[in-house]
Every structure is written in structure tokens, then in C-alpha cells.
């Protein structure tokens, strides 16, 4: 069921957005060469505890997950692009790291993701990361009443295809509110003018993610981490936004 939020409810969601943005800022800054992924999870866990927030991940057990996630942040490295389960791995120079984090504050959830290079980048990595960011910006730019979900999807796809990337549509954006995942689904490819109409009060997470040379993914033995089928790298950008009568509100803005 798709729920529309009142202006007062959107205002009440802002602390969650600010908190999620702050956790990603702090964990991104901590992600240096030699830092263990489990340490990033510990940092995020400590921030949740201090803020009195609630993790959206630790007990999360959807049909595609092998077990409850058990950690509070997703840490996807190199050819891993989504749902990276933190484990005993120390970051190396040149790693492409994607952090995805969602939490609830006062019962309202926000969800966001960022990708970046640890240390010195490979030549192809900045373009891949920048493409996900520009695709996210393109979708947000058309997130206005009167447009449709398909307009967001088409905007994302246009940016990806212009750079030669193919698109997997198994996982994409989604509604956000009292829970992390809700309707509507926001695919990263689609036809403009199609799908659910954007209305004031709709709160969604938009999350373009692309792989360097494939659109096929495989699941790790941990039952969670999704990797490219050919070993090529992936990147992921995500914001939670609220549709209004005017410009959309980016609830998880990190600026």
C-alpha cells in the first residue's frame, strides 16, 4: 500500500534523514586503508545507541536474505555492490567501498547510500561512482507532482546508458516511512510517463546502482552480499526524498 505523508509527518521525518546522513559522513571518514569493516559497523552501532535510534537492518530478514542481517550498516567492497554484510576484512588501497545505512528516529525511517574510493582510485572507478551520483541527481530533478515513477526510472537509465552501463532491475528504490521498504518500487530503468503518479506527501528512496561491465549479480555464501557475476566493480548512490508541491526535499542530504 502506498501512503502519502502530511507536511507535519514529513517534518517529523527530517531528524531521521539528518541522522542517517551523519552516520554515513562519520563512517565514510573512518574508512581508511587498514580499517576493518567490522569497525565501521561498530562505529555505526555506537552512533545508533547514542542517538536513541533504531537500526533498520540488524533484525531485517526478507525473503531474499538467508537469515536476519545481524549488522547495522551494509559494507560492499569492489565487485560487491548491494547488501554487503560486514565481515573481518581490512580495507586496502584502491578499494571501492559502498556504504548503505538506514535507521529509525522517533519511529520514522530514512535510507541512504554512498560510494567512494579508499586511498588511490583505479582509472575507471571515479566515472562509475560519478555516474550513479548524476543518475540520482537526474531522478531527483524530475521528482515533481505531475510526473510519474517511470520518469524517475527513465532519468536514471538515460545517465547510465549514456556512459555505456547496463542496468539490473532486480533491486531499486522504494517507499520509505514507518518501515524501511514499502511501495512503490522505483526501478532504475523504465519508460517516462508510466507508473504511479508522483503526489505531494510521497516519500521514496531513489537508489541507482551500476556494475562496470555487466548487469548480472550473484549472492555470496553469506546469503546477503550481492556481487557482479563477472567480478567487475559496482557503485551505489541513494537518498530518501519527499515529494512536495514545489521542489522535492532531500531528507538525507549530506551537504
Residue list, annotated binding site for a divalent metal cation: 100, 111, 174, 207, 238
139 in Cβ contact with 206 (< 8 Å) = yes
* Residue numbers belonging to the annotated binding site for substrate: 83, 181
* Residue numbers belonging to the annotated binding site: 83, 100, 111, 174, 181, 207, 238
227 in Cβ contact with 79 (< 8 Å) = yes
- CA–CA separation, 13 and 29 (whole Å): 25
Q: How far is CA 239 from CA 56, 137, 177, 208, in A?
A: 15, 10, 13, 10
In degrees, to the nearest 5, what angle opens at C-alpha 241 toward C-alphas 218 and 19?
85
Question: How many other CB atoms sit within 10 Å of the CB of residue 108?
Answer: 22
List the one residue out of 95, 32, 47, 102 whose CA is nearest residue 69: 102
Amino acid at each position: 500500500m502506498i501512503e502519502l505523508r502530511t507536511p507535519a509527518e514529513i517534518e517529523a521525518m527530517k531528524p531521521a534523514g539528518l541522522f542517517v546522513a551523519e552516520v554515513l559522513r562519520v563512517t565514510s571518514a573512518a574508512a581508511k586503508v587498514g580499517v576493518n569493516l567490522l569497525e565501521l559497523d561498530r562505529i555505526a552501532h555506537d552512533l545508533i545507541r547514542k542517538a536513541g535510534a533504531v537500526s533498520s537492518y540488524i533484525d531485517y530478514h526478507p525473503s531474499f536474505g538467508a537469515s536476519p542481517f545481524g549488522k547495522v550498516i551494509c559494507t560492499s567492497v569492489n565487485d560487491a555492490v548491494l547488501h554487503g554484510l560486514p565481515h573481518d576484512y581490512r580495507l586496502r588501497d584502491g578499494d571501492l567501498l559502498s556504504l548503505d545505512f538506514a535507521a529509525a528516529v522517533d519511529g520514522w525511517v530514512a535510507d541512504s547510500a554512498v560510494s567512494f574510493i579508499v586511498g588511490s582510485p583505479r582509472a575507471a572507478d571515479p566515472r562509475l561512482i560519478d555516474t550513479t551520483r548524476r543518475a540520482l541527481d537526474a531522478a531527483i530533478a524530475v521528482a515533481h507532482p505531475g510526473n510519474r515513477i517511470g520518469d524517475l526510472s527513465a532519468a536514471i537509465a538515460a545517465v547510465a546508458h549514456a556512459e555505456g552501463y547496463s542496468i539490473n532491475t532486480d533491486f531499486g528504490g522504494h517507499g520509505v516511512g514507518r518501515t524501511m521498504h514499502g511501495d512503490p518500487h522505483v526501478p532504475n530503468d523504465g519508460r517516462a510517463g508510466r507508473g504511479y503518479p508522483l503526489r505531494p506527501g510521497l516519500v521514496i528512496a531513489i537508489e541507482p546502482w551500476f556494475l562496470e561491465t555487466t548487469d548480472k549479480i550473484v549472492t555470496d555464501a553469506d546469503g546477503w552480499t550481492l556481487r557482479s557475476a563477472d567480478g567487475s566493480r559496482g557503485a551505489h548512490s541513494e537518498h530518501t526524498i519527499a515529494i512536495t508541491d514545489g521542489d522535492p526535499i532531500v531528507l538525507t542530504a549530506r551537504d
